[in-house]
Structure 1
Amino acid sequence: MALDRLDDPDHPVYSMGQAAELLGVTPAFLRSLDASGLLRPGRSDGGHRRYSRRQLDRVVELRRLSEQGHTLASAAEILDLRADLDGERARHAATTRERDEAVRDRDTALGERDTARRERDRARDERDGARRAGHGDGDQN
C-alpha cells in the first residue's frame, strides 16, 4: 500500500524547500551536499530533489559536526563509520544470541544424552540382576 511508505525512513518525501525549512538550512546548502556526494537525495519524476527522514537526520548530524569544527567530508566519514560500527554491533549481538542458543541446545542435548545413558545403565543393571537371579535359582534346584 502506498501509505506504508510514509513510515519508511528511507522513502524520499520531502522537497528541497521543505527539507531546508525543516532543517533551518538554505537550499544552496542542500545542493552543495548533493554536488559533493555527501548526500544523494532521490528525484521526483520531474527531476526535483526529494529527501527522506533518514537523509534529514544525516543533514542535522553533518551540520552539528561541522559546527564542532569538522569539515563536511570528515563529518560524513564520522557518520559513515558510526553507521558501520552500529551495523557491526548489531551483527555481533545477533551472532552472540545465536551462539548462546547453540550453547543452550548443546547443553540440553548433553543432558538428554546423560539421562539416556543413566537409563541404559539402569536397564543393564536390572537385566544383569535378573540374569544373576535366574542363574542362582537354577543352581539351587
Structure 2
Amino acid sequence: MIPDQQGPATPSAADKFDDDHYPAYTMGRAADMLGTTQGFLRSLDEAGLITPQRSAGGHRRYSRQQLRLAARVRELVDQGTAIDAACRIVSLEDQLHEAQRRNTELRAGD
C-alpha cells in the first residue's frame, strides 16, 4: 500500500510495542509500575504535565514517555520537592532534552 494514495498505513501491533508515545497502560497499571497512587497520576494531569489519552470508555491511558516523566516527578517529590515545582522542573528538563535532540539532528544534517 502506498500511504499517500490510500491514507496512512495502520501501525502493526509490533510497532505499537516500540512506540514510546503509544498509550498502552491503564491508570491502575501505571500507578503500580511507579509505586504510587492513582491520585498522584491525576495530580500530574491537573498540573498539566501529563495529559493521558482516553479510551472509548473515558479511562486514562498512559505511554512509556509519560510514565518516565511521572517517575521523575515522583523522584523529586520523594526528595521533598513540592509537586508543582517538581512538575515545572520535569517540564523544563523535557524541553531541554528535546531541544538538544533537535540540535543534534540539525548538526547531523550539515
Normalised TM-score (structure 2): 0.77
CA contact (8 A) 1:38 1:73 kept: no
Read off the aligned partner of 1:29 and give its amino acid letter.
F
2:55 corresponding residue in structure 1: 44
CA contact (8 A) 2:52 2:61 kept: yes
2:44 corresponding residue in structure 1: 33
Distance 1:55 1:90 in 2: 18
Distance 2:94 2:49 in 1: 14
CA contact (8 A) 2:27 2:62 kept: yes
| Structure whose residues are more often helix by fraction | 1
CA contact (8 A) 2:31 2:41 kept: yes
| Sequence identity percentage | 42
Q: Does 1:60 align with 2:52?
A: no
After superposition, the C-alpha distances for 1:52-100 in whole angstroms (9 at most, x for unaligned) are: 111111111001011222222211221121122222323333444445x
Q: Which has the larger radius of gyration?
A: 1
Structure 1 unaligned runs (5+)? Answer: 100-141
CA contact (8 A) 2:45 2:51 kept: yes
CA contact (8 A) 1:20 1:27 kept: yes
2:102 corresponding residue in structure 1: 91
Q: Does 1:2 align with 2:15?
A: no
Please say which of residues 13-22 and 31-40 is displaced more in the overlay: 31-40
2:30 to 2, 11, 19: 19
Q: 1:37 to 1:9 in 2, by over 3 A?
A: same
Normalised TM-score (structure 1): 0.62
Distance 2:103 2:16 in 1: 29
Once the two structures are TM-superposed, the CA of residue 6 in structure 1 deviates from its matched residue by 1.8
CA RMSD of aligned residues (A): 1.7
Read off the aligned partner of 2:48 and give its amino acid letter.
G
Please say which of residues 85-94 and 22-31 is displaced more in the overlay: 85-94
